[in-house]
Structure 1
Amino acid sequence: MIIFPAIDLKDGQCVRLKLGDMDQATVFNNDPGDQARQFQDQGFEWLHVVDLNGAFAGKSENTAAVDSILKNTTNPVQLGGGIRDLKGIEHWLEKGITRVILGTVAVRDPQLVKEACKAFPGRIAVGIDAKGGKVAVEGWAETSELTTVDLAKQFEDAGVAAIIYTDIDRDGILKGLNIPSTLELANATSIPVIASGGLASIEDVKRLLQPDCAILEGAITGRALYDGRLDPNEALGLIAAAKAAGEKEC
């Protein structure tokens, strides 16, 4: 189980949105590079980064902030938001991004996702953001008619490294992860699924360590870390203990 701390970028700053609304952004750090370094120092081993401006604009907008993040952490970074063509994917992978997340383009042009998976094996993830059970696009501003499972099945044999599933109705409001919907998706596809949206406390981490969640690759957390509701040492300690117990049983 991997906990992915999140850095959401808006106008070069680390923010958290409420329910995906750009007008409800709270700034938590003016220095994204510093935030990336803090997360690494806390013991996290991955980083989840989203260019919020880019998601709306359809092209990368927080390039300097992402560059600063890459300079300040040795952890692998997955990046999404506004990356919608092979040139953009290649650009970020060459810069040092470990995994590029494709969201809107996965709905608009699924063939491009498949081409990207062939060109960059193991380095393409698909972001599936759901609102009312339907896939949202364009920075969550529009809702499609696709269900999350329908979209995931389009990429079943494409070589997608992971699906990041976000429940927009819970994002940024600390209501807890939508475990039933996340597990429904994970059980409908062979692609590893990462839960996102609403992780609120250590209780969510404990829930993720239950046997039925073993199918998940991990979960993303943002606001709970920033406002202190989730203690990094406690969360990572629980995960390490669960891993050690599992290895002992084997």
Structure 2
Amino acid sequence: MKLTLYPAIDLKDGNCVRLLRGEMDQATVFGTDPGAQAAAWQKAGFSWVHVVDLNGAFAGKTVNEDAVKSILANVSIPVQLGGGIRDIAGVERWLAAGISRVILGSAAAKNPALVHEAAKKFPGRVVVGIDAKGGMVATEGWAETSDIPAPELAKRFEDAGIAAIIYTDIARDGMKTGLNLAETRALAKAVNIPIIASGGVASVADIVALKQAAVTQPNLNGSILGRALYDGSLSPAEALAAC
């Protein structure tokens, strides 16, 4: 099967950044023109762009709107967006603006009914972001950890009609220590929803390992790529070839 790879553009104060374990004070700026970065990922051959409004995730509302609109203006491939989308009005606004899929993270954990409402109204265009610390769901830009195990939250959306779940191991995010395949596979086994792995991709070996895991767990759908792409330890060409 073919995995879908999602190069990430994380936005902080209008810039393209990467964080370490979700810590906002551990941000490395990799670019000041998000639109140009999105265009570069499209030119490299990627079929999607994954965008997160980091300021929005903490503020609970969209903050980097201009940067997101710049990304949309510079690519023709689909864009999925998360960070600060907390209500149906926000979902509607971004889908109308040209975003292909919205990601509900904190809102999914705290207001599951919103996910069901949005997915019913916009089938195939809502993604749930499940971010975990030690297997427990974290919210509010990862600043708060709940007592909900990730698979338990995932099961709440089994029949909601969502497009996918993005599962992020926060401890590995930005660390290039490899995907947490054990927890990601356990989540995939718990539901029939497509699962996108995130957090820790270091090299082409991680993509190959995910593809091998997908042979027996076919709803392992793809992976988010971050720091390894930006610092050059993983090239777009070898990443895409591995798929």
The TM-score normalised by the length of structure 2 is: 0.97
State yes or no: 1:191 paired with 2:193: yes
Report deviation, 1:95.
0.4
**Distance (Å, rounded) in 2 between the aligned partners of 1:38 and 1:224:** 15
**Distance (Å, rounded) in 2 between the aligned partners of 1:213 and 1:4:** 19
1:213/1:34 Cα in 2 relative to 1: closer, same or farther (>3 Å)?
farther
Say which of 69, 82, 88 aligns to 1:86: 88
User: Which of 208-217 and 64-73 deviates more?
Assistant: 208-217
Corresponding residue for residue 200 of structure 1 = 202
Q: Which residue identity lines up with residue 190 of structure 1 in the other structure?
A: N
Corresponding residue for residue 131 of structure 1 = 133
Say which of 219, 228, 233 aligns to 1:229: 233
**Distance (Å, rounded) in 2 between the aligned partners of 1:209 and 1:109:** 33
Corresponding residue for residue 246 of structure 1 = none
**Distance (Å, rounded) in 1 between the aligned partners of 2:242 and 2:205:** 11
CA displacement, residues 59-106 of structure 1 (integer Å, 9 cap, x when unaligned): 000000000000001110110000000100000000000000000011
Report deviation, 1:237.
1.6
**Distance (Å, rounded) in 2 between the aligned partners of 1:154 and 1:238:** 33
Corresponding residue for residue 220 of structure 2 = 216
**Distance (Å, rounded) in 2 between the aligned partners of 1:209 and 1:169:** 22
**Distance (Å, rounded) in 1 between the aligned partners of 2:181 and 2:108:** 23
**Distance (Å, rounded) in 1 between the aligned partners of 2:172 and 2:14:** 24
**Distance (Å, rounded) in 1 between the aligned partners of 2:163 and 2:240:** 23
Matches within 5 A, 1:149-160: 149-160=151-162
Unaligned runs of 5+ in 2: none
Contact 1:83 1:102 in 2 (8 A): yes
Corresponding residue for residue 53 of structure 2 = 51
**Identity rate of aligned residues, in percent?**
63
Corresponding residue for residue 9 of structure 1 = 11
Q: Quote the RMSD (CA, aligned, Å).
A: 0.8
Report deviation, 1:213.
5.1
Contact 1:208 1:214 in 2 (8 A): no
CA displacement, residues 4-25 of structure 1 (integer Å, 9 cap, x when unaligned): 0000000000000001000000
User: Which of 16-25 and 230-239 deviates more?
Assistant: 230-239
Structure 1 segments of 4 or more deviating over 6 A?
none
Report deviation, 1:209.
1.9
Contact 1:9 1:51 in 2 (8 A): yes
The TM-score normalised by the length of structure 1 is: 0.94
Corresponding residue for residue 182 of structure 2 = 180
**Distance (Å, rounded) in 2 between the aligned partners of 1:213 and 1:24:** 34
SS in 2 for 1:165: strand
Report deviation, 1:193.
0.4
Contact 1:172 1:223 in 2 (8 A): yes
**Distance (Å, rounded) in 2 between the aligned partners of 1:129 and 1:238:** 26
Contact 2:192 2:219 in 1 (8 A): no
Unaligned runs of 5+ in 1: 240-250
Q: Which residue identity lines up with residue 56 of structure 2 in the other structure?
A: G
Contact 1:126 1:163 in 2 (8 A): yes
Corresponding residue for residue 243 of structure 1 = none
Contact 1:19 1:169 in 2 (8 A): yes
Contact 2:193 2:219 in 1 (8 A): no
